[in-house]
Structure 1
Amino acid sequence: MIAARMARALVVLASILVAGGCTTLSTGKADRAQGVAFDARDRIVACERPSDACAAASALRDLGDRALEASAPSAPRHYALLLDRGPDALLARINLIRAARRSIDLQTYIFDEDDAGHLVLDELMAAARRGVRVRVLVDQLAALKKASTLAALSSAHANFDLRVYNPMFNDSRMSYPKYLMASLCCWDRLNQRMHSKLLLVDDAVGVTGGRNYQDDYYDWNAEYDFRDRDVLVAGPVALEMRENFEAFWTSPISVPAERLDDVGRLLLREGAPALEHIAFAAPDRVAQMSNEASDATRIDGLAAAAMPVGVVHFIADVPEKHQGENDTAENAGQRLRDIVESARTEVLLQTPYLVLSKEAQEMFRGMHARDNAPRVTISTNSLASTDAFIVYALSYKYKRRYLREFGFHIHEFKPFPASAPIDLAAIAAGAEEEGQRAALIAGAEEEERQKKRPPQQQGEAVATRYFGSGGGGANAPVPLQRAGVRIGLHAKSIVVDERIGVVGTHNFDPRGDTYNTESMVVIEDAGFARALADSIRGDMRPENAWVIAPRDKSPILPGIDYSLDKVSEELPIFDLWPWRYATSYDFVPGPECPAALPRDDPGFRRCYTPVGDFPEVSLGLKGLTTRIFTAFGAGLAPIL
């Protein structure tokens, strides 16, 4: 019966897709669409210096030459630069693109058509026009918003190529009917996403980490920004990055944009569209970033912070992850667990989503059972700071397990951290620009409407207010008790014994192990590991994070309360016990409490006050739904 209903549903959905003109292009039509794009491509190179493609001088790009020259096959040398601040991460990317002499390879999960996205696209196209080979690989589910944008990019220049990873139904974007269809027919393939991120310049300098190409990652969103982290590495490891990128680029599931069905139809119907984008929402801020990217003093200062290091590894999944011969234990997630399990004294782990795979849980349980168990300290999001409250609900479900069975010391990021490396001035400046532009646009539109109204109505006043680009939705940030620019943690980093530092894309979650492709840089250098540890510990300072610790025991039958909580937690679906083992605590400084303390310190209760399970959150509907997903959502862990 169920199978028959599902079959009927698939037939209905297939009919909808066909009726909507969404049949797959034939090979011949795809070839003709590609021909339209190729014929339209500009082949003029605006540089008379082919030796370096008129590349700009750059201290960041020079790090690659210096590292390669100092390296020997048995003694590689590298430079590593932590990019903690969003504007610095964007500045480094633009500068490196301008400094490219031969090639630029860019791989990312999200590439938005906002200010940050368009600025980077403009720079990539300028590099192509001066003679640099540019290749861009994006994931379908979070790629550029419009098929016309992909058509324009694929037709723009002979030195620029764009491919889309794992395009379901061979389209650049998916409608809701198609998404539902994919969920029913092709669940595993739908969930296989390219979460890997890389910017590689001249096979000499690479940047990877948590950041995508969207305003939120560079302190350019007026409402919600990510506290994130990238690492720039220069030296021989760049060749490993190139090898992995080549595997993705040449994979059968990476499709040239012009051969996608919706893009191909547009090319066949209308020809190659012009490459254009709407005006920047905050043009002054964009201009300032563009100018700073060519400021030698500014770039020299950034490059001076790069650390000389020795052994660097690039660990990355292959594009056909978990398919056939690639379905082995030696994926990026397993190698990451091997690094963590090697800890002798301490593991610092920073992840936005504390939902662990079964393998990770068994590993941490075993590590905690050692005679001299290493201390495991976690920096992660609170419900108030996260962009994914459903995922947080599953983390909330297992806090007793995390504290008691794994020995975790958990610090949850506050939505308004006082000393995190966030550029509030850049956010404020952009918000003012966007507000002024929105008001001007609204005023102009209203003026046009006034002209069309009867004379007696034309004098009516119009009030406008700019609310930003944020929206609602089931997985949007929860409402808070006060207003302000909210910051959410998005960095994915690990430090082991202050001797190994890891920066990458893996959230240490089931999705990263099972579905997503991931990448990371592993640096075996004590100096770098200490610098990364200091950065993570900064996010755990009392002004930036709450501490998760056991709540005070109930005076009435505390053992029964704990036992019922544990039994309810073990249930696969119906976790309904309302009183949780742990809650959030905030540090209260004073004469007897001059510094923050770990939760197992004898003085912890004297220096910390409980602030509830969901501090800063305006509970309402989202508080209720968090508890609902805690109760019913355990089975969703692998895909969230």
Structure 2
Amino acid sequence: MAGSLGRGAMLAHWLGCALICAFVLAAEGCASLPKEVPRQQSEALADPATTALGRLVAQSSPDPALSGFHVIASGEEAYGTLISLADHATRTLDLQYYLIEADESSREILLHVRAAAERGVRVRVLVDDLHSDDGKDRAFLRFAGHRNIEVRMFNPFPAGRFSKLTRVLSSATDVRRLNRRMHNKAFIADNALAMTGGRNIGDAYFLRAPEQNFVDLDVIAAGPAVRRLSAAFDRYWNNPLAVPVETLANPAQATDSAAATGASSSRPGPALVSTEAESKRIDAQGMTPPGKIDARASFLGRQFAAGGKLALEWASASVMVDAPSKAAPDQAPAAGETMSKELGRTLSGARQEVILISPYFIPGDRGVTWMADLVKRGVKVRVLTNSLAATDAPIVHVGYRRYRRDLLRAGVELHELKSRPGRPQKIIGDYTSSQATLHVKAAVADRTNLFVGSMNFDPRSASQNTETGLIIHSAKLAQQVAQLFAGVIDDNSYLLRLSEQGTVQWVDGRGDQAAVFDTEPDTSWQKRLWIDVLAPFTPEQLL
């Protein structure tokens, strides 16, 4: 699955590097970043008001100082939003993602992006390089062959790009740099409208995967917040760590038509883009191909079709984006250039309630102390994360479970998502036929301030990955996410508690009908044993 290629594979990758460094002394065979890379600097559209989207946003806004927002919890809704943004852009499209999968959803979205390029839209695609093996170079190189499309890989593996093993071998002496990844997510149209939050691009993020899907959260943004997102995109795009795919990939690979275009391929692989003819057909029709999710049925699609003003929630907001230098171990970000501290200040100001939602939740001793202090001040602290059965990265569970007892002793209300829903959640979308995995990164303070972004509440997000997030000062939107939290914990999560002997228990249900488990629910003894074996050897800072 897409998510399991993140935390679990990353840790295995770096442990493999450590072993190689210990036993292979041929360091001269390891590659480093190219010193001189030809690249053109470019910036976001300076005046979005000259575009149809910019004019629509301007006429919809009650105050030019406010930004407009709409919460997207449904995977189908998120998919339709990206299609709508691509179809309505007239000048620029900027995409920044940790992961773009090689599957049907990615292919369809990039097909619409390519159709926009055919209309003359300038397209910039910035992708973290961790998952560009298995032939994706060919697809991205082909995609970048369009005169209006550029693709850059962030913090790349400079050699051995044709397999995971060769990438590990070639990067064995550069682990400190390559352990830092660009985890940001943003899809920006004409510097006027954007979608940002927790989702990558791939089937599982849009509830279209047969076996495992991600419960996630994004927001549509309009107005000043988008311009700040674009300014942050420019800083990453023009950073030395953003390397054009042409510099990294073999140009001969772009001629591999079947792999590069993904034309009529039924097997898994780098089917990222479609043929030029199909792209032009989509551009001419301005709609999703037959048999696919109709983007016009999404919130944004309906808004565009109805005309008039956009029905967004207008509020003040803080746009928080880590400095790209966070990804360079020899360039520590300056004070104020990492978002975790700003978010911490906002949540620390809560007086009644803090809700934290994070798929990878490793608070550390400082986090436990912080939450305990909130509880002592009378603040109700409520947390939702993945159960062992639901997580896509079981090895990360090792770090989280170290703190469960301390959190419960401190009075934190702790919930873990079930792997199978007890009751469908209409607002999220239909994932009832597959395993559910939490992927939402959100927080609510006093039901008046809402955080949505790419940042998990764990050491990796705080110190290793670069992240994007919004703090929106809107009671309406904060209440929406609080209601989403309440709906999930009612029927689709376990409530944790301590037994009289001080051991962790999982409670499913309420009152006399509640079932109580003394071991991780819905897991095998082999899986639990494996976690026990890994625990002493798993470095928390890599999770």
Distance 1:80 1:297 in 2: 12
1:495-534 equivalences in 2 (<5 Å): 495-534=444-483
Q: CA 1:365–1:327 in structure 2 vs 1: closer, same or farther (change >3 Å)?
A: farther
1:629 aligns with 2:528: no
Q: What does residue 213 of structure 1 align with?
A: 201
1:548 aligns with 2:476: no
Q: Could you tell me whether the CA contact under 8 Å between 2:134 and 2:163 is conserved in 1? A: no
1:401-550 equivalences in 2 (<5 Å): 401-405=406-410, 407-417=411-421, 418-421=423-426, 422-424=428-430, 485-541=434-490, 543-550=491-498
Distance 1:393 1:495 in 2: 26
Which residue of 301, 315, 323 corresponds with 2:320? Answer: 315
Q: What does residue 582 of structure 1 align with?
A: 504
Q: What CA deviation, in whole Å up to 9, does each residue of 1:339-379 have, x standing for no partner? A: 11111110011001121244433322332333xx2110011
What SS does structure 2 have at the residue aligned with 1:349? Answer: strand
Q: Quick one: which amino acid aligns to residue 333 of structure 2? A: N
Q: What does residue 608 of structure 1 align with?
A: 514
Q: Could you tell me whether the CA contact under 8 Å between 2:98 and 2:182 is conserved in 1? A: yes
Q: What does residue 481 of structure 1 align with?
A: none
Q: What does residue 249 of structure 1 align with?
A: 237
What SS does structure 1 have at the residue aligned with 2:414? Answer: strand
Q: What does residue 149 of structure 2 align with?
A: 160
* Greater Rg over alpha carbons, structure: 1
Distance 2:160 2:59 in 1: 43
Q: What does residue 65 of structure 1 align with?
A: 58
Q: CA 1:295–1:621 in structure 2 vs 1: closer, same or farther (change >3 Å)?
A: closer
What SS does structure 1 have at the residue aligned with 2:71? Answer: strand
What SS does structure 2 have at the residue aligned with 1:320? Answer: helix
1:26-45 equivalences in 2 (<5 Å): none
Q: Could you tell me whether the CA contact under 8 Å between 1:307 and 1:528 is conserved in 2? A: no
1:382 aligns with 2:394: no
Q: What does residue 115 of structure 2 align with?
A: 126
Distance 2:315 2:202 in 1: 32
Q: What does residue 11 of structure 1 align with?
A: 25
Q: What CA deviation, in whole Å up to 9, does each residue of 1:443-479 have, x standing for no partner? A: xxxxxxxxxxxxxxxxxxxxxxxxxxxxxxxxxxxxx
What SS does structure 1 have at the residue aligned with 2:384? Answer: strand
Q: CA 1:340–1:297 in structure 2 vs 1: closer, same or farther (change >3 Å)?
A: closer
Q: What does residue 5 of structure 2 align with?
A: none
Note the C-alpha offset of 1:171. 6.4
Distance 2:55 2:498 in 1: 51
Q: Quick one: which amino acid aligns to residue 250 of structure 2? A: V
What SS does structure 2 have at the residue aligned with 1:638? Answer: helix
Q: What does residue 82 of structure 1 align with?
A: 71
Q: What CA deviation, in whole Å up to 9, does each residue of 1:188-228 have, x standing for no partner? A: 21111000100111111111111101111001100000111
What SS does structure 1 have at the residue aligned with 2:320? Answer: strand
- Name the % identity: 26
What SS does structure 2 have at the residue aligned with 1:168? Answer: coil
Q: CA 1:94–1:297 in structure 2 vs 1: closer, same or farther (change >3 Å)?
A: closer
TM-score by length of 1: 0.70
Q: What CA deviation, in whole Å up to 9, does each residue of 1:520-561 have, x standing for no partner? A: 1110011111111111221111x211100112x24xxxxxxx
Q: What does residue 187 of structure 1 align with?
A: 175
Note the C-alpha offset of 1:607. 5.8
Distance 1:366 1:514 in 2: 23
Q: Quick one: which amino acid aligns to residue 287 of structure 1? A: P
Distance 2:170 2:209 in 1: 33
What SS does structure 2 have at the residue aligned with 1:101? Answer: coil
Q: Could you tell me whether the CA contact under 8 Å between 2:323 and 2:337 is conserved in 1? A: no
1:151 aligns with 2:141: yes
Distance 2:207 2:21 in 1: 47
Instruction: Tell me the C-alpha RMSD between the 2 structures.
Output: 3.3
Q: Could you tell me whether the CA contact under 8 Å between 2:372 and 2:407 is conserved in 1? A: no
Q: What does residue 281 of structure 2 align with?
A: none
Q: Could you tell me whether the CA contact under 8 Å between 2:296 and 2:302 is conserved in 1? A: no
What SS does structure 1 have at the residue aligned with 2:325? Answer: coil
What SS does structure 2 have at the residue aligned with 1:141? Answer: helix
Which residue of 361, 367, 370 corresponds with 2:374? Answer: 367
Note the C-alpha offset of 1:167. 0.4
Distance 2:237 2:289 in 1: 32
Note the C-alpha offset of 1:266. 4.0
Q: Could you tell me whether the CA contact under 8 Å between 2:192 and 2:222 is conserved in 1? A: yes
What SS does structure 2 have at the residue aligned with 1:121? Answer: helix
Q: Quick one: which amino acid aligns to residue 539 of structure 2? A: L
1:253-292 equivalences in 2 (<5 Å): 253-260=241-248, 262-264=249-251, 266=253, 276-279=261-264, 287-288=289-290, 292=294
Count of aligned residue pairs for this structure pair: 490
Q: Quick one: which amino acid aligns to residue 302 of structure 2? A: D
Q: Quick one: which amino acid aligns to residue 138 of structure 1? A: V
What SS does structure 2 have at the residue aligned with 1:616? Answer: coil
Note the C-alpha offset of 1:125. 0.7
Distance 2:290 2:383 in 1: 36
Q: What CA deviation, in whole Å up to 9, does each residue of 1:293-352 have, x standing for no partner? A: 246998226999954222022101011116436243641111111111111110011001
Q: CA 1:78–1:192 in structure 2 vs 1: closer, same or farther (change >3 Å)?
A: same
Which residue of 394, 398, 413 corresponds with 2:399? Answer: 394
Q: CA 1:639–1:158 in structure 2 vs 1: closer, same or farther (change >3 Å)?
A: same
Q: What does residue 200 of structure 1 align with?
A: 188
Unmatched runs of 5 consecutive residues or more in structure 2: 1-18, 41-49, 268-273, 275-287
Q: CA 1:24–1:336 in structure 2 vs 1: closer, same or farther (change >3 Å)?
A: closer
Q: CA 1:533–1:320 in structure 2 vs 1: closer, same or farther (change >3 Å)?
A: same
What SS does structure 2 have at the residue aligned with 1:343? Answer: coil
Distance 1:490 1:288 in 2: 29
What SS does structure 1 have at the residue aligned with 2:158? Answer: helix
1:561-600 equivalences in 2 (<5 Å): 562=502, 581-588=503-510, 593=511
Distance 2:488 2:298 in 1: 30
Distance 1:587 1:314 in 2: 38
Q: Could you tell me whether the CA contact under 8 Å between 1:82 and 1:306 is conserved in 2? A: no
1:117 aligns with 2:119: no
Distance 1:209 1:132 in 2: 24
Distance 1:248 1:26 in 2: 18
